[in-house]
A = this chain, B = another copy of it.
């Protein structure tokens, strides 16, 4: 996050607006500007200079929605459903306006004020897919979705779901009034084949899900 830099943008005296250097930063940063500020996102620009004098400009986008205490902007949920002796993953399909396409994704959502990543994961899984999980298997470190472009961050939360439990036999979504989400159960052993066989002209896939599927495929390939 670069919020500490915002007080030094565009100094009116015409000098370079140098900013406090973040730890580990190999560049001298200056002239940080918020160039567009919307309800949901903010676009920023900062100039940088390398130790050998090369200069450049970096343009980036930042969510305006992260609660101060939240551990990340959002969560993605790897929900492992055991049902009739098989292991499935819960996936969703939804139309994504930024991409102009229907997208296959992990269930995911923004973390609300006061929530932990695990609480957000259990809530979003229930809302988006109807499935109830009683067991968090793992919460990942904070990770960044597209670090050259944005500081949008997430935790990956792995949860187990008993697909044979009464509350999960006919899961019912609790969607916002503007959401339209299709839920799928895909066997983990068939995940990469399922993604590979998608018709790219009608649906695309999200990177985190695809990378997880590739990890499964390449885990044992020497």
Contacts and interface: CB of A to CB of B under 8 A. Distances in A.
A222 interface: yes
A45 interface: yes
A48 B208 contact: no
A158 interface: yes
A113 interface: no
Contacts of A13: none
A154 B39 contact: no
- Classify the secondary structure of A's interface with B: mixed
A195 B140 CA distance: 10
Interface string A14-55: 000000001111110100000110111101011010101010
B48 A178 contact: yes
A141 interface: yes
B144 A204 contact: yes
B178 A24 contact: no
A185 interface: no
A154 B145 CA distance: 12
B147 A146 contact: no
Interface of A: 1-2, 22-27, 29, 35-36, 38-41, 43, 45-46, 48, 50, 52, 54, 56-63, 78, 80, 87, 95-103, 105, 108, 138, 140-154, 156, 158, 177-178, 180, 188, 195-196, 198, 200, 202-220, 222
Nearest to A41: B59
A59 to B, nearest CB: 5
Contact of A140 (B78, B96, B214, B219): B214
Nearest to A145: B146
The 9 closest A-B pairs by CB, nearest first: A215-B215, A219-B219, A60-B98, A211-B211, A36-B36, A61-B61, A145-B146, A96-B147, A212-B215
Given A149-B150, A177-B52, A144 B206 contact: yes
B24 A61 contact: no
